[in-house]
């Protein structure tokens, strides 16, 4: 399929540069309610994404402009391939953007992306994860499995472009989503977690089951927090959500060359990312697409740029903008490829010391949803589960919210020495923010 499309791209009028990505995916999906199967699915898909660039005189002025358009070619589209590519050229001709290039050939790294267990026996991996979870819950008092979903997937990508790039990568992906219910005295509450990894061995099911069983039990007796300004410690998955937000993090978007070019990032290289003087631990952030089995790791990105580990923020100062080829050309900076996994260097404080305080302080382990505004950094998030810690005593809390600005709170953050790997986040297991607004009772 790819060869036919590449041949057609070579012969298509109006194509001055091109890129083709052939993507084949298989997915094995298991869904259970309690201990019973609700559904089982297998899915196969195949497509080629063809991106064409057309150079033409700009509509306004005399300069040369470049337009770009992508079309997705499905197996059933092959018999009218020429029509699809003509349509792409037509769309590319319409738009006037400053010229930019495509990546040329380079040596690709051997990033570890594929779990052999998933590739060989996807059904077995899915069944085993559910069995391990059920077994782990046997020893959990007053807790049962509500439901679980497992997606075990393999993707093969081959990339070629008009500048001579030719690469391939195989990646596995695992999504494990489960809900635990705790019951006590006719009260019931849940703990819900969705985890994404590339490798089954990166999920410690007994530990996860134990932690979330405890959250579910604690949710039954939880009350709302106080209103005021308090120190707040955020840990594990809640911290990754606050900082990474599935890639829509202000840390990621503000450091994007695309946003800088579009005048939507005010950051400058060498300047502090904080509005105020930092009083916390130094914040150093890498975009790391090379981390073994990271969910945002790759051999090459969607344009064919090789995976890298790139220093983005060093001790609170912007070190570089991450850039795809197009925006690197526009800003005349080196291309880094897409943002990979977020890697934050460890701090100097032992994890347990983050909680050393007369209190009260709040420890948040789960938000209902937390995605700081990608441009302003402002955030508000409901507390799904947490603890109020006062003089060494912990009281379960839920409901109410925390709010603030991500850059303001990072300027005061103490980072734990201990680090964790959570799919697309590698960094301190916990952070303590000095002053955060809590809305409760």
In terms of Cβ atoms closer than 10 Å to its own Cβ (0-12, 13-18, 19+), residue 331 is: middle
Kindly report the backbone phi and psi dihedral angles of residue 355, in degrees, each rounded to the nearest multiple of 5, phi listed first: -100, 0
CB count within 10 Å of CB 159 equals: 24
- Selection from 352, 354, 325 nearest residue 338 by Cα: 325
Q: Which is nearer to other proteins, 184 or 417 (CB)?
A: 184
Using the rule CB under 8 A, give the single segment among 262-270, 308-316, 386-394, 411-419 that binds other proteins.
262-270
Based on the shown chain and the rule CB under 8 A, indicate whether residue 157 belongs to the binding site for other proteins: no
Based on the shown chain and the rule CB under 8 A, indicate whether residue 402 belongs to the binding site for other proteins: yes
Tokens 């358009």 locate to 69
The binder of other proteins chosen from 55, 90, 162, 167 (CB under 8 A): 90
Q: Which is nearer to other proteins, 262 or 393 (CB)?
A: 262
Token pair recorded at residue 314: 């060093």
Q: How far is the CB of 192 from other proteins (least distance, A)?
A: 7
The binder of other proteins chosen from 128, 147, 155, 319 (CB under 8 A): 147
Subset of residues 91 to 110 that bind other proteins, contact rule: CB under 8 A = 91-92, 94-97
Q: Which is nearer to other proteins, 94 or 350 (CB)?
A: 94
Token pair recorded at residue 159: 């990339």
263-267 contacts, C-beta under 8 A, 24 or more apart: 264/375, 267/318, 267/321
Based on the shown chain and the rule CB under 8 A, indicate whether residue 170 belongs to the binding site for other proteins: no
In terms of Cβ atoms closer than 10 Å to its own Cβ (0-12, 13-18, 19+), residue 29 is: middle
Q: Which is nearer to other proteins, 268 or 352 (CB)?
A: 268
Based on the shown chain and the rule CB under 8 A, indicate whether residue 181 belongs to the binding site for other proteins: yes
Subset of residues 220 to 239 that bind other proteins, contact rule: CB under 8 A = 227-228
Based on the shown chain and the rule CB under 8 A, indicate whether residue 31 belongs to the binding site for other proteins: yes
Q: How far is the CB of 216 from other proteins (least distance, A)?
A: 9
Q: Which is nearer to other proteins, 351 or 387 (CB)?
A: 387
Distance CA 405, CA 419 (A): 24
Subset of residues 68 to 87 that bind other proteins, contact rule: CB under 8 A = 68-72, 74-77, 87
Distance CA 281, CA 276 (A): 14
Based on the shown chain and the rule CB under 8 A, indicate whether residue 375 belongs to the binding site for other proteins: yes
User: Helix count (H) and strand count (E) of the chain?
Assistant: 10, 19
Using the rule CB under 8 A, give the single segment among 4-12, 67-75, 127-135, 425-433 that binds other proteins.
67-75
Determine how β-strand 64-73 pairs with β-strand 36-57. Answer: antiparallel
Q: Which is nearer to other proteins, 131 or 369 (CB)?
A: 369
Q: Which is nearer to other proteins, 45 or 356 (CB)?
A: 45
Based on the shown chain and the rule CB under 8 A, indicate whether residue 184 belongs to the binding site for other proteins: no
Based on the shown chain and the rule CB under 8 A, indicate whether residue 269 belongs to the binding site for other proteins: no
H-run or E-run covering 286: strand 285-288
């Amino acid at each position: 399929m790819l060869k036919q499309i590449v041949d057609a791209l070579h012969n298509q009028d109006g194509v001055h540069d091109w890129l083709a990505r052939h993507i084949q995916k298989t997915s094995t999906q298991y869904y259970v309610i309690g201990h019973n199967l609700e559904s089982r699915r297998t899915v196969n898909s195949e497509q080629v994404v063809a991106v064409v660039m057309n150079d033409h005189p700009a509509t306004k002025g005399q300069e040369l402009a470049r337009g770009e358009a992508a079309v997705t070619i499905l197996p059933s589209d092959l018999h009218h391939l020429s029509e699809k590519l003509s349509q792409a050229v037509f769309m590319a001709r319409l738009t006037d953007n400053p010229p930019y290039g495509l990546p040329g050939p380079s040596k690709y790294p051997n990033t570890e992306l594929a779990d052999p267990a998933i590739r060989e026996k996807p059904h077995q991996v899915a069944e085993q994860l559910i069995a391990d979870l059920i077994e782990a819950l046997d020893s959990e008092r007053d807790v049962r499995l509500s439901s679980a979903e497992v997606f075990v997937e393999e993707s093969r990508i081959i990339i070629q472009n008009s500048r001579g790039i030719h690469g391939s990568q195989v990646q596995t992906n695992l999504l494990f989503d489960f809900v635990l219910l705790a019951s006590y005295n006719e009260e019931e509450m849940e703990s819900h977690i969705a985890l994404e990894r590339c490798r089954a061995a990166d999920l410690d099911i007994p530990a996860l089951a134990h932690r979330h069983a405890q959250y579910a039990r604690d949710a039954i007796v939880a009350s709302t927090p106080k209103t005021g300004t308090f120190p707040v410690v955020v840990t594990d998955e809640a911290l990754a959500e606050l900082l990474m937000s599935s890639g829509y993090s202000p840390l990621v978007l503000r450091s994007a060359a695309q946003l800088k070019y579009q005048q939507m990032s005010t950051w400058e290289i060498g300047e502090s990312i904080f509005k105020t003087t930092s009083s916390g631990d130094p914040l150093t952030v890498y975009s790391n697409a090379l981390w073994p089995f990271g969910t945002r790791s790759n051999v090459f990105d969607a344009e064919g740029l090789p995976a890298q580990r790139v220093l983005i923020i060093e001790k609170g100062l912007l070190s570089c903008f991450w850039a795809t080829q197009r925006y690197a050309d526009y800003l005349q900076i080196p291309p880094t490829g897409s943002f990979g996994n977020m890697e934050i260097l460890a701090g100097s404080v032992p994890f347990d010391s983050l909680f050393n305080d007369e209190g009260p302080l709040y420890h948040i382990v789960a938000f209902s949803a937390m995605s700081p505004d990608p441009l302003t950094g402002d955030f508000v998030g409901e507390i799904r589960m947490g603890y109020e810690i006062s003089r060494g005593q912990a009281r379960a809390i839920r409901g109410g919210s925390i709010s603030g600005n991500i850059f303001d709170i990072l300027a005061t953050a103490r980072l734990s020495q201990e680090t964790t790997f959570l799919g697309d986040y590698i960094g301190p297991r916990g952070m303590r923010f000095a002053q955060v607004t809590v809305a409760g009772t």
